Structure 1
Amino acid sequence: MANKKVVLAYSGGLDTTTIIPWLKENYDYDIIAVCVNVGQGVEELDKLEERALGSGAAKVFVVDVTEEFVTDYIWPTVKSGAIYESEYLLGTSMARPLISKVLVDIAIQEGAEAICHGATGKGNDQVRFELGIKALKPELKIIAPWRLWDIQSRQDAIDYCHSKGIFLPFSAEQSYSRDKNLWHISHEGLEIEDPSFEADYSKILKISSTVENAPDKAEYLTISFEQGVPTAIDGTAYSPVALMEKLNELGGKHAIGTIDLLENRVVGMKSRGIYETPGGTILYKAHEALEHLCLDRETYSFKLTAAQKFADIVYNGQWFSPLRESLSTFFDTTQETVTGDVKLKLYKGNIIMAGATSPYSLYNASLSSFETGELYSHKDAEGFINLYGLPMAVRAWMKKSNEK
């Protein structure tokens, strides 16, 4: 009889490479290594298939879902305006459900009974991967080696691989824990774990310039949106992936979108991360500016509340929940008039508004001007203020009567 199969979420790094012989030893599975390309770059995919097969995998899939990542995960999140704990633009959080979806699809295609991931028992990703799998095919078994094995360090992993006759170009010298996709790159570990330590961006950053090294001359760009979705830069239409690549290039050049965040993980502890989200930060700023122009006060106010809930849902790994889907439907409705152009100035880490236009603009100069316009009479304000302030006046009268 053929061996049972397990699908392994494979990045090509030391941890997931070590998992391959460990799975063979402890489960006797045929291992199907799956690398999901969400825009992490060719350098991370180099020789990945060769490494997986050389470590004992029976089959390797490299699945490029970068465009799906942008259109079905990034764009809905941009429309929402969701930001976790006021700063984090959900880069890793958005990608995990899509990766889970691909793993489940391959498991069904290959007849695998289990999915294995390399997320640690302390992090958010174990929650995100496993909730995604449970939402899509709950009968699949989930294996999380970091919650099971005795390996405690990078050197332990290297020694284990050597004991299995696997010699790969990994060193025991520690490095930052990083996660990269088309939206962002995160950095954790080493000296960053000390919240009192000032991070050395010149050593850490990978896609962004430091503020000190950013150009001394500002650069302008105009982003065009159609129903909340960015479609063009400076009048030139771009595909979703190409648009993100262009904005990342511009934002990285001008040191846009680097944050140092001490955040609350799903599992209860705090962790510190350095995040680079150059293109995403530009998009959020431009999109927000257009919403200020096109959304009425009550819709915008409620959308802010919904965005906070959306951020928590995505961060917590609940992308495939009914509430997330319902909120996305609400956000889509709010975006029906969020169409227009936003001009921005980029300069040494700053994004400065330089104008916005929309055929659906709710700004009316006749109403807003200090000069009297035909649509508004200054005299009308008196009655409005009397009614609006009535509860305050009633309370004051009550207090005065009780003082007698």
Structure 2
Amino acid sequence: MKKDIKKVVLAYSGGLDTSIILKWLGDEYGCEVVTFTADIGQNEDLAPIKEKALKLGIKEKNIFIEDLKEEFTKNYVFPMFRANAVYEGEYLLGTSIARPLIAKKLVEIAKQTGADAISHGATGKGNDQVRFELGAYALMPDIKVIAPWREWDLNSREKLLAYAKKNDIKIEQKKGKSPYSMDANLLHISYEGLILEDPNAAPEKDMWRWSVDPKDAPNESEIIEIEYKNGDPVALNGKALKPHEILDALNRLGAKHGIGRLDLVENRYVGMKSRGCYETPGGTIMLKAHRAIESLTLDSGAAHLKDEIMPKYAELIYNGFWFSPERLMLQALIDESQKHVNGVVRLELYKGNVIVLGRSSKTDSLFNVDFSTFEEDDVFDQKDADGFIKLSALRFIIAGKNGRKII
């Protein structure tokens, strides 16, 4: 295989692992390396990444840095939130949903540059290797994938640093303890490793990067309004915004009020349990708001069906099957359900909590006070309930007359 690889596109972050991979690919495969860096809202200055790639011998024409914040939010995050997707009851899939977009761009650049292969820095223990590669194979079945962590023997931080020193790869080392393994994008930031490898150890207070401790959040609550159209947020406090602008604004509001922290032990697709901590402030607000507007505008049968399929949909995203036929089928069903999910949700943010204060829809509300009122009405005949209950209980009645006992 090595002799067949002439050019490879590397998902490049500029960090320790991918900087070493960049050099290692040239040494082991003797191939030309193209780097791709995605700006998906990780809030980092990406200019030094280009300079670093140049210093490591990458031609300027082979360095790709793309701003994908809008595409990420509009075409990946928002469709996922239409489904109210939550993995294992808690995780809002912040890392999972970014991987198919990166895989898509790796393949596009491979086609554009005539590359034979793509490469990534995901380890053989993690979910990301699966997500990157399933996405790539779905979009380019003949693409070759180089996963150094499954090939080399540089299986510790010490060996990586020694390799970097030997090959004059400059690695910025911060004073103090090693950082957590982190992943950030416009939807969330995650933390793994160090003390978190003990699931009984509480996260260190200085670990959290985005949000204030709920106990230290403002003592005054803040009320906001989110407007929805076809299941997607389109305006915040009456101001129309682009998808990535809304998510960014909700992140800042949520972080200010200590919203969106999560400490989770999850089941990885490769079979092991892992412990991670997450901050998803804007996403936590969006989930609460979306369910609130759906409660007003979505038919009960459609709402219950969505809740039934949601765990499967979330699992598909977590496991890397974003481009699978079954996810696309479920997405079509979900999107069909959102045609009348229009209106405004009013929320109160306070010390880690998102509280629904109200929801309204001028065009699509299914809440009819004439039917639901506890006061006198002229539209609902309460005597109808007698036959409704007896028909619902008919099978119990027949079984009972036949001598069958429940308990």
Distance 2:338 2:406 in 1: 51
Q: Is this contact kept in 1: 2:97–2:317, CA < 8 A?
A: yes
Q: Note if 1:385 corresponds to 2:375.
A: no
Q: Write out per-residue CA displacement over residues 67-106 of structure 1, whole angstroms, 9 at most, x where no aligned residue.
A: 0001100110011111100111111111100000000011
Q: Is this contact kept in 2: 1:223–1:231, CA < 8 A?
A: yes
For residue 56 of structure 1, what is the aligned residue in structure 2? 57
Distance 1:400 1:341 in 2: 51
From 107, 110, 121, the counterpart of 1:107 = 110
Distance 1:253 1:219 in 2: 10
Counterpart residue identity of residue 34, structure 1: F
Give 1:400 shift: 6.6
Q: Is this contact kept in 1: 2:20–2:169, CA < 8 A?
A: no
What SS class does the counterpart of residue 21 from structure 2 fall into? helix
Q: Write out per-residue CA displacement over residues 309-338 of structure 1, whole angstroms, 9 at most, x where no aligned residue.
A: 110111110111111111111111100000
For residue 81 of structure 1, what is the aligned residue in structure 2? 84
Q: How many residue pairs get matched?
A: 400
Q: Write out per-residue CA displacement over residues 129-157 of structure 1, whole angstroms, 9 at most, x where no aligned residue.
A: 00011001121110000111111222211
Q: Percent identity?
A: 47
From 23, 47, 71, the counterpart of 2:25 = 23
Counterpart residue identity of residue 360, structure 1: D
Distance 1:150 1:53 in 2: 26
For residue 370 of structure 1, what is the aligned residue in structure 2? 374
Q: Is this contact kept in 2: 1:8–1:115, CA < 8 A?
A: yes
From 244, 248, 259, the counterpart of 2:247 = 244
For residue 155 of structure 2, what is the aligned residue in structure 1? 152
Q: Note if 1:138 corresponds to 2:160.
A: no
From 292, 297, 321, the counterpart of 1:318 = 321
Q: Is this contact kept in 1: 2:41–2:186, CA < 8 A?
A: yes
Distance 2:203 2:110 in 1: 41
For residue 176 of structure 1, what is the aligned residue in structure 2? 180
- Shift of the 390–54 alpha-carbon distance from structure 1 to 2, 3 Å rule, reads same
Counterpart residue identity of residue 315, structure 2: D
Q: Write out per-residue CA displacement over residues 17-49 of structure 1, whole angstroms, 9 at most, x where no aligned residue.
A: 011111111001111111011111134x24011
For residue 295 of structure 1, what is the aligned residue in structure 2? 298
Counterpart residue identity of residue 196, structure 2: I
Give 1:402 shift: 12
Distance 1:331 1:290 in 2: 15
What SS class does the counterpart of residue 118 from structure 2 fall into? strand
For residue 40 of structure 1, what is the aligned residue in structure 2? 42
- Shift of the 326–400 alpha-carbon distance from structure 1 to 2, 3 Å rule, reads closer
Counterpart residue identity of residue 47, structure 1: P
- Shift of the 133–400 alpha-carbon distance from structure 1 to 2, 3 Å rule, reads closer
- Shift of the 369–113 alpha-carbon distance from structure 1 to 2, 3 Å rule, reads same
Counterpart residue identity of residue 22, structure 1: W
Q: Is this contact kept in 2: 1:178–1:188, CA < 8 A?
A: yes
What SS class does the counterpart of residue 47 from structure 1 fall into? helix
For residue 273 of structure 2, what is the aligned residue in structure 1? 270
What SS class does the counterpart of residue 387 from structure 2 fall into? helix
From 187, 191, 202, the counterpart of 1:187 = 191
Give 1:398 shift: 2.4
- Shift of the 388–139 alpha-carbon distance from structure 1 to 2, 3 Å rule, reads same
- Shift of the 401–274 alpha-carbon distance from structure 1 to 2, 3 Å rule, reads closer
Return the TM-score normalized by structure 2.
0.95
Alignment root-mean-square deviation, CA = 1.8
Q: Write out per-residue CA displacement over residues 242-290 of structure 1, whole angstroms, 9 at most, x where no aligned residue.
A: 1111000000111111111100001000001101000011011000011
Give 1:12 shift: 1.0
- Shift of the 402–243 alpha-carbon distance from structure 1 to 2, 3 Å rule, reads closer
Q: Note if 1:92 corresponds to 2:95.
A: yes
Structure 2: which 5+ runs fail to align?
A: none
Give 1:166 shift: 2.1
Distance 2:131 2:358 in 1: 39
What SS class does the counterpart of residue 204 from structure 1 fall into? coil
Structure 1 window deviating more from structure 2 (160-169 vs 124-133): it is 160-169
- Shift of the 387–376 alpha-carbon distance from structure 1 to 2, 3 Å rule, reads same
For residue 224 of structure 1, what is the aligned residue in structure 2? 227
What SS class does the counterpart of residue 7 from structure 1 fall into? strand
Return the TM-score normalized by structure 1.
0.96
- Shift of the 22–400 alpha-carbon distance from structure 1 to 2, 3 Å rule, reads closer
For residue 332 of structure 1, what is the aligned residue in structure 2? 335
